[in-house]
Amino acid sequence: MKTLKNLCLDELADMYYAENHLIKALAKLAKAATHDELREAFESHLVETEGHIKKLETVFLSFGEPARSKKCEAIVGLLKEGDEIASENKSSPTINAALIFGAQKVEHYEIASYGGLREWAEELGNHQAAELLQEILDEEKAADEKLTEVARQCCNKSARNGSSDAEDPNAGHSGRSRGIRPGRAKVKA
């Protein structure tokens, strides 16, 4: 009979697989990004992801188990879809918006997974595991928020306008940060 601990360890193995595969994926995303701030966001999250792997190893140990990996079909599918969307938008002004879209799908999967794992760790009375899983969850949420910020500041506008971020004079600058509301021009009196 399976227990909550068995289920938790199985899903931890899923996430351990996912994080190890995300290392390669994040490096590819950083290389494909044509906007500096987006590239930096991917590179920064790559470093965090390496830390997630170490934290997951500690979580396994806190349950008295060695770290193990189980193929995560969800991450395989999300990464495949991300590769397809990137390929379809390569050399296009939409590339950065497409990269963000694919990356945020992965972030949302991770957020849901780590939220559930943290709850199970708490239920099982493993406060060390719950704390580490909360740290990972907080970093995943922050990565998602950063991607949203970069998308709003420049990448979505460049995709809409059909210009590369390098060509777009507003790239990297949100109209809101300059006191301009969307759809309204700033008028001098």
What would the pLDDT profile of 93-134 be if each residue is shown by its tens digit? 999 999 999 999 999 999 999 999 999 999 999 999 999 999
Per-residue pLDDT band for 162 (boundaries 50, 70, 90) equals confident
Long-range contacts of 44-52 (CB under 8 A, 24+ apart): 44/146, 45/143, 45/146, 48/139, 48/143, 49/19, 49/22, 49/23, 50/23, 51/139, 52/19, 52/136, 52/139
Whole-number pLDDT of residue 180: 28
pLDDT value, residue 163: 76
CA distance 103 to 150: 12
What are φ and ψ of residue 95, in 5° steps? -55, -45
3-state secondary structure of 144: helix
pLDDT of 82 strictly over 50: yes
pLDDT value of position 164: 63
**pLDDT (mean) for 88-93:** 93
Comparing CA positions, the residue from 100, 23, 12 lying closest to residue 55 is 12
Instruction: Look at residue 80 in the predicted model and tell me its pLDDT.
Output: 97
pLDDT tier at 186 (50, 70, 90 boundaries)? very low
CATH number of 4-162: 1.20.1260.10
pLDDT of residue 37: 96
Whether the pLDDT of residue 182 is over 90: the answer is no
Domain boundaries, the chain: 4-162
pLDDT 10s digits, 9-42: 999 999 999 999 999 999 999 999 999 999 999 9
**Model pLDDT, residue 123:** 98
Question: In whole angstroms, what is the distance from residue 147 CA to residue 48 CA?
Answer: 15
Distance of alpha carbon 185 from the chain centroid:
34
- Mean pLDDT of the residues in the chain: 89
- What DSSP designation does 177 have? G
* pLDDT of 169 higher than 80: no
**Percent of residues, the chain, with pLDDT higher than 90:** 84
Determine contact, residues 171/138, Cβ cutoff 8 Å: no
User: Mean per-residue pLDDT for 86-91?
Assistant: 93
